Amino acid sequence: MAVCDRWLRIGCVVLAGLGTAASAQTGSLETTGNNNGSGGVFMDLSPFSNLLSITEFEVAFSGTSGSTVDVEVWVRPGSYVGFDASREGWTLAETVQGVRRGTNTLSSLTLNDPVEVEPGVTTAIYLHAVTSGGGIRYNGTNANPPQTTWTNADLELFSDRARTGDIPFGSSLFMPRTFSGVIHYQLGAFCRPDLNGDEVLDAEDFFLFLQYFEAGDPRADFNNDGVIDANDFFIFLNEFHLGC
């Protein structure tokens, strides 16, 4: 096997001394289906009692099914209300790629760097599709004002406005328009070494990392410097050892 080299031998020494780490709890919050669009949508997230790591969004896109679309993820402390017309005060967290699957089928937007939202405070997130040909769908029309607040045991979501086109903070603003889809999160800080997403750190995650590492897969780039090397290997081992 390609992974049976010095990295495997070094890692196995570390792995031999480790037990199974505690599992991480996950959750999700789903809103209503879309009936309008498209472009980008604003939302406020307010956790109740636990820090949450937002790991994934599921949204529907307009445009040709099967085509790819880039989505910018903007974040700001506090509400987006009053701050929906300018980039001032916002941080571009990352750009993620999705695949258009039709207006009635949700597509996954998995964050490479999950957004941590603290309990008792509000964090705004703005998702905007920047690839021409069809953006994020949302819910609401002037004739049928939508529900704007959703809650579960962990989180409150407020959303009431969206922008059309493919330029963030540009083009036309419409309200009330709401986020349509699903938000996935993990309770507590994000557990990066849990590569297979089964909420348990064990040998499967270790060997999966080795596969990514040997293949030059970006998922092995643990220091996000664009190069997969020994630094990433030892960062992974350290995080694996610390557990989640």
* Per-residue pLDDT tens digits of the chain, which is 244 residues long: 444 455 555 555 555 554 544 456 789 999 999 999 899 999 999 999 999 999 999 999 999 999 999 999 999 999 999 999 999 999 999 999 999 999 999 999 989 889 999 999 999 999 999 999 999 999 999 888 899 999 999 999 999 999 999 999 998 999 999 999 999 998 877 777 888 777 788 888 899 999 999 888 878 888 777 789 989 898 898 888 777 7
Say whether both 16 and 134 belong to one domain.
Answer: no
Say whether both 18 and 107 belong to one domain.
Answer: no
**Of 149, 164, 187, which residue is a domain's last?**
187
CATH number of the domain residue 173 falls in: 2.60.120
Say whether both 199 and 113 belong to one domain.
Answer: no
**Of 151, 170, 187, which residue is a domain's last?**
187
**Of 150, 165, 187, which residue is a domain's last?**
187
**Residue 107: CB atoms within 10 Å:** 20
In a domain, 77, yes or no: yes
CA angle (210 as vertex; 183, 116 as ends), nearest 5: 25
In a domain, 12, yes or no: yes
Say whether both 54 and 113 belong to one domain.
Answer: yes
Count of alpha carbons within 13 Å of 220, Cβ hemisphere only? 21
Q: Which of 212, 209, 194 is nearest to 11 (CA)?
A: 209
Say whether both 30 and 148 belong to one domain.
Answer: yes
Number of domains in the chain: 2
Helix (H, G, I), strand (E, B) or coil at 124: strand
Say whether both 56 and 126 belong to one domain.
Answer: yes
In a domain, 55, yes or no: yes
Say whether both 57 and 161 belong to one domain.
Answer: yes
Backbone angles phi, psi at 84, to 5 degrees: -105, 5
Say whether both 203 and 153 belong to one domain.
Answer: no
User: H/E/C letters for each residue in 35-102?
Assistant: CEEEEEEEEEEEECCCCEEEEEEEECECCCCCCEEEEEEEEEEECCCCCCCCCCCCEEEEEEEEECCC
pLDDT value at residue 9: 57
Say whether both 167 and 224 belong to one domain.
Answer: no
- pTM higher than the cut 0.85: no
Say whether both 175 and 216 belong to one domain.
Answer: no
Residue burial 183-221, b: 16+ Cβ < 10 Å; e: rest: bbbbeeebbbbbbeeeebbbeebbbbbbebbbeeeeebb
In a domain, 1, yes or no: no
Domain that holds residue 236: 6-23+192-242
In a domain, 66, yes or no: yes
pLDDT value at residue 84: 97
Backbone angles phi, psi at 170, to 5 degrees: -115, -170
* DSSP output for 136-194: EEEE--SSSPPP-EEE-SSEEEE---EEESSSTT-S-EESS-EE-SEEEEEESS--TT-
Report how far residue 119's alpha carbon sits from residue 80's, in angstroms, rounded to the nearest whole number.
Answer: 17
Say whether both 202 and 145 belong to one domain.
Answer: no
Say whether both 110 and 169 belong to one domain.
Answer: yes
In a domain, 95, yes or no: yes
